[in-house]
């Protein structure tokens, strides 16, 4: 003989033979039906069918391609870093980005307003230094003639004029430096 015994009945009191009451069986059945109903109400993930891929069929025959379909990256054979000899703003870019250029071809032009202003300032500085040199030479000649005409004056009076003359010559050299670098007199 086989006996079914539950340690804890699902809803009723155990009977003498170890089985549960009919009310507990009904309660257990209702709980089971509700559990199944709740899980049935949830959205189930439906598998979406993808359309079949489009396939093109072509006959293979020897020949040439009219237009090749290639994938890749195009890199320039030769790349060069370019720059201007003087600083300034770009006024005009003659060549478009990525265009093929030849050696000596003009790529861009600079706005020369700043350059011309610097050049004019350097020329003015050079002219001022030349004027100071002429003044120092004239002053030296005057002092030299005064020294030669007057034997009483000491030789020291002529030395400051000679010093100023040589300093003015150095000033001319320094002032002409920026002018010569700009290419106007070299």
Q: What is the pLDDT of residues 66-108, one digit of tens each?
A: 777 778 888 878 777 777 777 778 888 888 888 888 888 888 8
Q: Which of 166, 162, 169, 163 is nearest to 126 (CA)?
A: 169
Q: Over the stretch 4-32, which tens digit does the pLDDT of each residue have?
A: 444 454 555 554 555 556 667 788 888 88
82 vs 110: CA distance, rounded Å: 14
pTM of the model as a whole? 0.34
Q: Work out the widest C-alpha separation in the chain, in whole angstroms.
A: 161
Question: Which of 31-40, 60-69, 132-141, 165-174 comes out lowest in average pLDDT?
Answer: 165-174
Element at 93 (helix H, strand E): strand 90-93
Q: Over the stretch 107-160, which tens digit does the pLDDT of each residue have?
A: 888 888 888 888 899 999 999 999 999 999 999 988 888 877 775 545 555 555
Averaged pLDDT of the chain: 73
Sign of CA dihedral 148, 154, 157, 163: positive
Q: Is the pLDDT of residue 47 over 80?
A: no
Contact call for residues 109 and 94 (beta carbons, < 8 A) = yes
Instruction: Give domain limits for the chain.
Output: 1-35, 113-181
Q: Directed axis angle between helix 158-181 and helix 113-149, to 10°?
A: 160
């Amino acid at each position: 003989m086989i006996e079914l015994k539950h340690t804890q009945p699902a809803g009723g009191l155990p009977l003498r033979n170890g089985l549960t009451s009919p009310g507990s069986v009904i309660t257990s059945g209702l709980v089971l039906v509700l559990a199944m109903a709740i899980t049935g109400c949830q959205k189930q993930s439906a598998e979406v069918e993808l359309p079949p891929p489009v396939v093109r069929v072509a006959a293979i025959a020897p020949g040439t391609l009219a237009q090749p379909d290639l994938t890749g990256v195009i890199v320039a054979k030769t790349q060069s870093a370019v720059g201007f000899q003087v600083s300034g703003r770009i006024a005009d870019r003659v060549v478009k980005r990525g265009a093929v250029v030849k050696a000596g071809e003009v790529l861009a032009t600079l706005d020369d307003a700043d350059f011309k202003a610097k050049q004019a300032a350097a020329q003015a500085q050079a002219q001022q230094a030349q004027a100071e040199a002429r003044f120092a030479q004239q002053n030296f000649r005057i002092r030299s003639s005064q020294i030669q005409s007057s034997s009483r004056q000491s030789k020291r009076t002529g030395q400051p004029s000679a010093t100023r003359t040589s300093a003015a010559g150095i000033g001319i050299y320094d002032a002409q430096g920026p002018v010569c670098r700009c290419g106007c007199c070299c």
